[in-house]
Chain A
Amino acid sequence: MITATRPAIAPLPTPAAAVAVPAVDAPRTALIEAKNVSVFYGAVEAIKSVSLGVAANEVVAFIGPSGCGKSTFLRSINRINDMVRGCHMKGELSIGGQNIYAPGVDLVTLRRQVGMVFQKPNPFPTSIHANITYGPRLQGVRRRPELDAIVEDCLRKAALWDEVKDRLHSSALSLSGGQQQRVCIARALATRPSVLLMDEPASALDPIATAKIEDLIVSLKNLVTIIVVTHNMHQAARVSDRTAFFYLGKLIEYDETGTIFTNPTNKQTEEYITGRFG
């Protein structure tokens, strides 16, 4: 690990009027806090007044049947929903005490702080090295030794370094699905996010690659706060500290994962996790 010697990444210039979101190198104490968040696709209310908090350095799993709104809520945390025509939200969603929907928030800075990994591995059609350095280059890092250090650090954190260190300049698309997904995680880590959103990160992977991603989630929580959407309830039980159950756009239950999976309070939660509906 080369974390101690890693050079600081220059912050991306933000417009003068921008509301600063917490710096990526700030102490990992930031909380994600949603207060009465509703998300609409046109007139359809996909998320209905959800309030929840996520502590720093914990892994939270969002579970629920398809269409329950868990991915919509996840995508509202880095405002990717803004790109969906007709999508708008109500309520307040803050990271580190800053409302990320306040006027003037710089979305580039926000998305650097809140990384995202998707269901299907989506490495850029370039080399492994170039995938990882893409974000830092955008942030102005140019010196080769710095970039190399970032690549090694992120690939180690993504538990991929030993597998690819001899072919960093090969195409990322030549890797297996599980390796590609870890490249995407390494790429997300390269901008030093404080939050990592994962939307079914292992659903397209085989069991061994899935186990590696799950191990990675657990080990990465020392570095970032992770929210993972999953249809695999056993995966939620294995990797998360707390679990939120969504149904029909509502947050039905949110509690310690051990409690949710052994003694949930809500009958709908019980029926869902025991496979009796959903």
Chain B
Amino acid sequence: MSMKFTDLLDSLRGRVARMTALVQQIVDQSVESIVHLDTDLARQAVELDNRIDEEEVHIEKQAIDLLARYQPAAGDLRLITTIIKVNGDFERIADCAVNIAQRVPLLASMGDYLVSTDLRLMANTAVATLRYTINAFNLNELELAQQVLKGDDVLDALYHQIITDSLSSLENEHRANRDLSTIMVAKNLERIGDHCTNIAEDIVYVQSGRIIRHLHAV
């Protein structure tokens, strides 16, 4: 295969790396905005999503173009097909961040909303798990992929704790509105963990050719 192909593949990887930086930025912003009820930061996060959507489409086109023109094999094939898959997961993570940021104006208007300890912990865990995911993907580090799975377990546990705690509040309308928002935020943080897990499993495929989906282990 010509040098042109390897150049194009490097270019595609670079583009994915830039997109992952944007995804990390949007998740950082949305989490920060919910913790501090910062409506300006929330708006910035929502606006950033447009760029990520455009990047997703560019990456997909570039990857499909490489498949069509060069018919790559082996490690190259695994990498490009995985890029197409994780590209979608990263874009969905950005959508989760937008969903979280869009809750900020409502919660800020309530005046008495305080982020619970569990939600704050979930937010920090989601940010850290995403960071592990991005580094694992861009640096080909399987050990970090293991950390991603652990992070997802923590997010799942916290999410269920928040749901349980919120059920008792549903009889009080004001608290129900507040806790519903909390659940929605928690749900999106939990989904970020799920997408990170998908990406971690795909990283294992790129590295080893093993498909570990549904095995719940790296």
Interface residue ranges, A against B (CB under 8 Å): 233-234, 237, 261-264, 269-270, 273-276
Q: Is the CB of A262 within 8 A of B74?
A: yes
Can you list 7 pairs linking A and B with CB atoms under 8 Å apart? A234-B71, A263-B78, A269-B74, A270-B75, A274-B72, A274-B76, A276-B1
- In whole angstroms, what is the CA distance A208 to B2 when docked? 24
A39: shortest Cβ distance to chain B, in Å?
28
Q: When the two chains form the complex, which single residue of B2, B5, B6, B209 contacts A262, counting CB atoms closer than 8 Å?
A: B209
CB 8 Å contact bits of B132-155 with A (1 = contact, 0 = none):
000000000000000000000000
Name 7 extra pairs, CB < 8 A, besides A262-B78, A273-B74, A274-B76. A261-B74, A261-B77, A262-B73, A263-B209, A270-B75, A274-B1, A274-B72
Q: Is the CB of B1 within 8 A of A237?
A: no
Residues in B neighbouring A261, C-beta threshold 8 A: 73-74, 77
Q: When the two chains form the complex, which single residue of B2, B5, B73, B78 contacts A273, counting CB atoms closer than 8 Å?
A: B73
CB 8 Å contact bits of B60-88 with A (1 = contact, 0 = none):
00000000000111111110000000000
Which 6 residue pairs across A and B have the least CB separation, nearest first? Answer: A275-B1, A263-B209, A261-B73, A273-B73, A270-B74, A274-B76
- In whole angstroms, what is the CA distance A129 to B18 when docked? 65
B201: shortest Cβ distance to chain A, in Å?
16
Q: Is the CB of B2 within 8 A of A275?
A: yes
Residues in A neighbouring B74, C-beta threshold 8 A: 261-264, 269-270, 273-274
- In whole angstroms, what is the CA distance A262 to B72 when docked? 9
User: A270's closest neighbor in chain B, by CB?
Assistant: B74
B22: shortest Cβ distance to chain A, in Å?
30
- In whole angstroms, what is the CA distance A276 to B6 when docked? 9
- In whole angstroms, what is the CA distance A225 to B216 when docked? 42
A246: shortest Cβ distance to chain B, in Å?
17
- In whole angstroms, what is the CA distance A273 to B70 when docked? 12
Residues in A neighbouring B72, C-beta threshold 8 A: 274
User: B209's closest neighbor in chain A, by CB?
Assistant: A263
- In whole angstroms, what is the CA distance A264 to B5 when docked? 20
Q: Is the CB of B2 within 8 A of A274?
A: no
Q: Is the CB of A262 within 8 A of B71?
A: no
Residues 189-218 of B at the A interface (beta carbon under 8 Å): 208-209
Residues in A neighbouring B6, C-beta threshold 8 A: 276
Residues in A neighbouring B75, C-beta threshold 8 A: 270, 274
- In whole angstroms, what is the CA distance A269 to B73 when docked? 11
B166: shortest Cβ distance to chain A, in Å?
46
Residues in B neighbouring A273, C-beta threshold 8 A: 73-74
User: A261's closest neighbor in chain B, by CB?
Assistant: B73
- In whole angstroms, what is the CA distance A269 to B77 when docked? 14
Q: Is the CB of A262 within 8 A of B77?
A: yes
- In whole angstroms, what is the CA distance A276 to B75 when docked? 12
Q: A262-B74, A264-B74 are in contact. Are A275 and B5 (CB under 8 A)?
A: yes
User: A263's closest neighbor in chain B, by CB?
Assistant: B209
A258: shortest Cβ distance to chain B, in Å?
11
- In whole angstroms, what is the CA distance A275 to B209 when docked? 19
User: A276's closest neighbor in chain B, by CB?
Assistant: B1
User: B75's closest neighbor in chain A, by CB?
Assistant: A270
Residues in A neighbouring B209, C-beta threshold 8 A: 262-263
- In whole angstroms, what is the CA distance A264 to B209 when docked? 9
Residues in B neighbouring A269, C-beta threshold 8 A: 74
Residues in B neighbouring A275, C-beta threshold 8 A: 1-2, 5
- In whole angstroms, what is the CA distance A6 to B47 when docked? 75
CB 8 Å contact bits of B1-13 with A (1 = contact, 0 = none):
1100110000000
- In whole angstroms, what is the CA distance A273 to B2 when docked? 12
User: B81's closest neighbor in chain A, by CB?
Assistant: A262
